[in-house]
Structure 1
């Protein structure tokens, strides 16, 4: 009998069913595309009520681990599902009162994105990033820069770096972080422009570009932190 089909204790039954099924996926007992036993079969094998099995399956379907095919049964999903990210989004949103933790997570993800870009980018991609940087400079260095235009150019620059890492899961996680930090990043760009620090704003991004162009891994975290601007108009702001 497979390990995941052994009877389980009564406490926290739904969570234990979830744990048993996910552990079976991690161990390889259940593989992507495999059909899992029916509710009745799982109920009998695990020694728990069908409603607990049903609830556990609902949760695993919601987060994108299982999928139900009508008239066929329930299967382990093949590949990455967008819905896998949803619970993480909600968890981060609910914990945003701790801005320091969010800042640390953002810096960690951004540093990882930079490292992948340095390791994997092609010469063509570096040339494309340079075009994004030139565009960013052009939007920043006009006499009266438009905040929305600069912010959009800034996002395009960072999106290009993310794409250079060629990792779809990290790209999705990084996109979430940029959504969660949207307002602080926007206010930071606005504050830098309105306080006459547009050269500093551009130069921080140029340093990031130079590190990628030179495929320099040392000091990546410090370069990322240099694009998180503080004490603009007495506020703590991040890009």
Structure 2
């Protein structure tokens, strides 16, 4: 996965504040604005984490770059060395930086699944419910469709998606097809759609949500088979393709609603 996946995940794990005066181009000898204790929304450790991540996102540090020492970071940020050390420990736990003794501390070269662990924990222990997950998937799917419609679908991507739809349809309509295999091909189809946006950040988050909802998609397919309505699964993919190929008589909202008919009921236990 490209370094964009690293940037996307770091920004997803850590709350990034929008800079007011544009991108900062600081060299290692310059200091950050001094931390003010009147900022009650973030701890000093959070401030350090956000500043390091911000510097990765804005290109000051690139994947694989060595960070200044804890003492240097403390001086540059007007923070204590213990605060910087605690922030580095958290970034290591996130998988965003790595310590190589005796060389020093480095920005991770690329995305690793470890980076998504804090997101998983937050979902497990937060007050989020099924409606939140439904809303998250809807937001991602809507964004994917709008990006493709806006930029247009490449001929190569269109041909690949049509081929995948043909494969998926024959599998779905086969009476002895394995349900988990059908679910994998369904996710593959949607991952191809996300890739067709040519936006690596969108693809990272789309694929994460797809993995997160994989089991519920299997349950939705089981419900379709129980209702003897496997044709619905084929129709959903066809409606999706017609939408991005601009051949659809349905709106974006109608297409998404149609595709969620079975899936959303799997969370209403």
Residue in 1 that maps onto 2:32: 4
Say if 2:138 is the partner of 1:107.
yes
For residues 124-139 of structure 1, what are the structure 2 equivalents within 5 Å? Answer: 124-139=156-171
Q: Which runs of 5+ in 1 are unaligned?
A: none
Shift of 1:128: 1.2
Partners of 1:123 and 1:173 in 2: CA distance: 24
What SS class does the counterpart of residue 142 from structure 1 fall into? coil
Shift of 1:80: 5.4
Shift of 1:88: 2.4
Shift of 1:57: 1.2
**8 Å Cα contact 1:8/1:47 also seen in 2:** no
**8 Å Cα contact 1:4/1:21 also seen in 2:** no
Shift of 1:70: 3.7
**8 Å Cα contact 1:64/1:83 also seen in 2:** yes
Partners of 1:213 and 1:148 in 2: CA distance: 28
Which region of structure 1 is more displaced relative to structure 2, 138-147 or 102-111?
A: 138-147
Higher Cα radius of gyration:
1
Deviations 1:213-237 (A, max 9, x none): 2377x8324312321124x9xx913
**8 Å Cα contact 2:31/2:77 also seen in 1:** no
Residue in 2 that maps onto 1:196: 228
Say if 2:265 is the partner of 1:236.
yes
What SS class does the counterpart of residue 31 from structure 1 fall into? coil
Shift of 1:208: 0.4
Shift of 1:115: 2.6
Partners of 2:189 and 2:73 in 1: CA distance: 50
Which region of structure 1 is more displaced relative to structure 2, 180-189 or 18-27?
A: 18-27
Say if 2:75 is the partner of 1:31.
no
**8 Å Cα contact 2:35/2:78 also seen in 1:** yes
Aligned residue pairs, count: 234
Compute the TM-score of the two structures, normalised by the length of structure 2.
0.71
Q: Taking structure 1 as reference, are residues 53 and 114 closer, same or farther at Cα in structure 2, changes over 3 Å only? A: same
What SS class does the counterpart of residue 74 from structure 1 fall into? strand
Shift of 1:165: 1.8
Root mean square deviation of aligned Cα: 3.3
Q: Which runs of 5+ in 2 are unaligned?
A: 1-28
Residue in 1 that maps onto 2:148: 117
Shift of 1:62: 3.2
Which region of structure 1 is more displaced relative to structure 2, 164-173 or 11-20?
A: 11-20
Deviations 1:121-158 (A, max 9, x none): 31121111111111111122234554233223322222
For residues 44-193 of structure 1, what are the structure 2 equivalents within 5 Å? Answer: 44=75, 46=77, 48-76=79-107, 83-95=114-126, 98-118=129-149, 119-143=151-175, 145-193=177-225
Shift of 1:163: 1.9
Deviations 1:66-99 (A, max 9, x none): 4444444334556656554332233234347500
Compute the TM-score of the two structures, normalised by the length of structure 1.
0.78
**8 Å Cα contact 2:30/2:76 also seen in 1:** no
